[in-house]
Structure 1
Amino acid sequence: MNDIVNYWGFLTACILLNLTPGSDTIYILTRTIAEGKKAGLMSSFGILTGFFVHILAVSVGLAQIIAHSPTLFAVLKYAGAGYLGWLGIKMWKQPFLVHQVNLDKLPLWQIYRQGLITNLLNPKVILFFLALLPQFVATNVENTFLPFFLLGLTSLSTTTIWVIILVLAAYPLGNLLRSNPKIGASMNKICGAIFIALAIKIGLE
């Protein structure tokens, strides 16, 4: 911990950044409202797994290679945008699930995998870590693996708490909307449109 500078400042920054709406937040909220609590949690766990992979990539230096290669960065960005757009089209076409018995039949492993892929293909996570972590590591540190990894785990911890809060908060809203036949009939189209809009936003950034 001696290699880390102003740890509590970093923790505060992580919490404040969690409160800033981003693509992961919108993805989790949309998935929870449309498909229920289990789908929201599995999406969250997938995103958190991707988050951990990014932490490892930054800690071992792989992320620096991606960030400094315009080609690799562009491939990741457009692949992520394309995948999110495909998920949006898929959700647009599928029927809205009203009853809990149908929600319980959702392929949770597939939902987890989709959350994982959307996060892994988001190069902004790499830029976030590369911009933030070095500011909280002592300048005389030669091997940055451990401080980067510990700071990354701190960020992962605050994010885990935040996404669980998101799911628990969005779940009752999803139930309320699901009970309204008029809203329920168009819910998947609305959620699919949100995913497609996110994909366009990511592709244009």
Structure 2
Amino acid sequence: MIDPAIILPYVLACLLFSIIPGPSVSVVIANSLAGGTRAGLFTILGTELSMLSMVFTVAVGLEAVMNVVSGAFEFIKLAGAAYLIWIGWKMVRSTGQLSFADGERLPIGRYVWQGALISWSNPKTLLFLSAFLPQFIDLSRPAFGQIMTLGLIVMAVATISDSVYAIAAGQARHLLTAARVRMVNRVSGAILMAGGVWLALQKRA
């Protein structure tokens, strides 16, 4: 059971963590602009499934897991960064055609996979959770249940925050004319490419 006294400061800390734009938020915004709110929300589903796996990793013992797979994190990070840059490059080179018309339905799995890959490609999220969640644990009680509960709270806050970004970007795309689509694609693509470069240059703490 979580001490009710820590809930408010914890939620505020989660909100601060969630609203700061990072690679995951960048891909949510880019997909929402390109494919509408639906695309952004399914991207969020991917990021949250990824975060759930991170929370579980922390709960069962991050240090032991890291000792086994620590070498994989650098590869995951670079693969995710390359993927982010590739998506951005495709958007920059877009012809500007309105390929995201309301009647079109792109594969849901594409957005979920993108969100999960980009989220897991940033090891700092896992490292942050491993340092952040234990600060709110009562050491006199079993840690697993507390960490999972705290993790679900931060996931809920992140889902709400990211959904605001997705809805805002999805609604903004309807205000665009065909002549402006190419510019939006280029800006969104540049954001993704910059996020990919930033991610590739990050060093593990």
Question: Gaps (5+ residues) in structure 1?
Answer: none
Number of the residue aligned with 2:50:
50
Cα distance in 1 between the residues matched to 2:11 and 2:67: 24
For the Cα contact (< 8 Å) 1:35–1:103, is it kept in 2? Answer: no
- The SS at the match of 1:6 is helix
Alignment of 1:60-139 (within 5 A): 60-62=60-62, 65-66=65-66, 71-98=71-98, 101=101, 104-139=104-139
Are 1:155 and 2:154 an aligned pair?
A: yes
- Decide whether aligned partners of structure 1 residues 125 and 77 sit closer, same or farther in structure 2, where only a CA change above 3 A counts: same
Question: Gaps (5+ residues) in structure 2?
Answer: none
**Structure 1 residue runs of 4 or more that deviate by more than 4 Å after TM superposition:** 2-5, 67-70
1:86-108 alpha-carbon deviations (Å, 9 max, x no partner): 22223334444526546623222
Cα distance in 1 between the residues matched to 2:67 and 2:116: 20
Number of the residue aligned with 2:164:
165
Number of the residue aligned with 1:185:
182
What's the % identity of the aligned pairs? 28
Cα distance in 2 between the residues matched to 1:29 and 1:82: 18
Number of the residue aligned with 1:144:
143
- Decide whether aligned partners of structure 1 residues 8 and 131 sit closer, same or farther in structure 2, where only a CA change above 3 A counts: same
For the Cα contact (< 8 Å) 1:33–1:171, is it kept in 2? Answer: yes
Q: Deviation at 1:198?
A: 0.6
Q: Does 50-59 or 86-95 show the bigger shift?
A: 86-95
1:18-53 alpha-carbon deviations (Å, 9 max, x no partner): 222222222211221222122111111111111111
For the Cα contact (< 8 Å) 1:4–1:138, is it kept in 2? Answer: no
- The SS at the match of 1:140 is coil
For the Cα contact (< 8 Å) 1:93–1:189, is it kept in 2? Answer: yes
Cα distance in 1 between the residues matched to 2:81 and 2:68: 20
**TM-score, normalising length: structure 2:** 0.85
Q: Deviation at 1:73?
A: 3.0
Cα distance in 2 between the residues matched to 1:193 and 1:96: 15
Q: 2:47 corresponds to which letter in structure 1? A: I
Cα distance in 2 between the residues matched to 1:91 and 1:63: 39
Q: 2:32 corresponds to which letter in structure 1? A: T
RMSD of the alignment, in Å? 2.5
Q: 1:201 corresponds to which letter in structure 2? A: W
Q: 1:186 corresponds to which letter in structure 2? A: M
Q: Deviation at 1:130?
A: 0.8
Q: 2:177 corresponds to which letter in structure 1? A: S
Cα distance in 2 between the residues matched to 1:4 and 1:133: 15
